[in-house]
Amino acid sequence: MYEAYFRHKFTDEVVLYIFLLLLLLMSPFLFIWELISNIRSFFQCKENMSGKVVLITGASSGLGELMAYEYAKRGARLAIIATKRPESRLEQVAERARVPSPDVFCMFADVSKVDECRMFVDDTIKRFHHLDHLVCNTGIGPIYSSNIDVTKFRPVMEINFWGSIYPTQFALPYLKKTHGKIIVNSSAGGVLHPPKHGIYNASKAALISFYESLRFEVSPTVTITILTIGFIKTNLITAKYSANGVGFHLKEDLGDVVPVMEAKPCAKAIVDGVCKGATSITEPRFYKALFLIKFLFPQLHRFYLYMYCLKIFNAKTGR
């Protein structure tokens, strides 16, 4: 029995190191491939969005709002969603998008509620009769600490994960008819697992896992684009969070440790990439290198995050 175990273990290790060696030998070619793909994407044809129908969740601010303007500039007809709050800017966003776009309408709904998701997908179809792109963008990102009652974080999973799955479920039959696209806003956090974001990271990793699996079921009829974006200057990171009684400001506390990208170029890069048929988009693009480091050299990745934790700690204690 032990002999079989060690024989298996030995084969296992040999196979692992052969693969690592192959990866090392192939890396110059992979580098050239990445370079060629990027150059090619500059010249790639873009989908003509004129008259196409795009449904965007979480469009009252940040990336959702800016993606709405990008689609509107390309002539798409829009259905935009956010929750009903007295201070909601959704109607103003719709008003502004109507300047370049022929038809924009907004609906108030909570994506964590299955019936409301069914309702806004149905209402979009009633109004436009078809659907071309579904952008599952809604997300919240409170700071997590193991000292806080974990049940307080349930809405993170409900909004970030289920709030994308429900609209996808209801929109899929219509997207299949138009050979449409699903764009899902995950996060680099779902790959890199930065500290103080445990539940947020888990919700975003779950999205990646779900949509990577769904891709096999619906492709090539429906194209899925997974966004793994890093720190972008929106309400999500400029808001003041409170973790365990300690005021925490992602932008101020981390801004000089991690570069923060402006939201407008990010939204443009996303819509450009989607229209060129990209199946995954990472912005800022250097995060791709971090993903590779995480998989190949996990210790180095943890060291970086440890330094990043230390920076937060120093900022909080005034050191």
Task: Give residues in contact with ligand NAP (CB under 6 A).
Answer: 57-64, 81-83, 85, 88, 110-112, 137-141, 159, 163, 185, 187, 229, 231-232, 234-237
User: What is the smallest separation between the CB atom of 37 and ligand NAP, expressed in angstroms?
Assistant: 23
Nearer to ligand NAP by Cβ, of 178 and 249: the residue is: 249
- Which CB atom, from 141 or from 142, has the smaller least distance to ligand NAP? 141
Q: Which one, 60 or 101, has the nearer CB to ligand NAP?
A: 60
Answer whether the bond into residue 284 is a cis peptide, omega within 30°: yes
Give whichever of 157 and 293 is closer to ligand NAP, judged by the CB atom: 157
State the Cα angle at 183 between 118 and 266, rounded to 5°: 130
In terms of CB distance, is 61 or 178 closer to ligand NAP?
61
Query: Does the annotation mark 200 as catalytic?
Result: yes
Pair of tokens at residue 109:
């709904």
The separation between CA 312 and the C-alpha centre of its own chain, rounded to angstroms, equals 24
CB of 236 to ligand NAP, least distance (A): 3
- C-alpha triplet 235, 238, 239: angle, nearest 5°: 75
The beta strand positions in 20-179, using DSSP E, are 53-57, 77-82, 104-108, 133-136
Catalytic residue (one of 71, 174, 200, 304): 200
Q: Which residues lie below 8 Å from residue 301, measured CB to CB, with a gap of 6+?
A: 192, 290, 293, 294
Give the Cα separation of 216 and 318 in Å (integer).
Answer: 50
Q: How far is the CB of 219 from ligand NAP (least distance, A)?
A: 23
Q: What minimum distance in Å lies between the beta carbon of 129 and ligand NAP?
A: 24
SS3 145: coil
124 close to 55: Cβ distance less than 8 angstroms: yes
The CB-of-313 to ligand NAP minimum distance in angstroms stands at 21
> Which residues make Cβ contacts (< 8 Å) with residue 99, sequence separation at least 6?
72
Nearest to 257 by CA among 212, 200, 314: 314
The residue to which tokens 């007809």 are assigned: 77
Which of 316, 194, 193, 151 has the alpha carbon at shortest distance from 245?
316
Q: Please report how close the Cβ of residue 225 comes to ligand NAP at its closest, in angstroms.
A: 13
- Choice between 178 and 264, CB closer to ligand NAP: 264
Residues assigned a catalytic role = 200
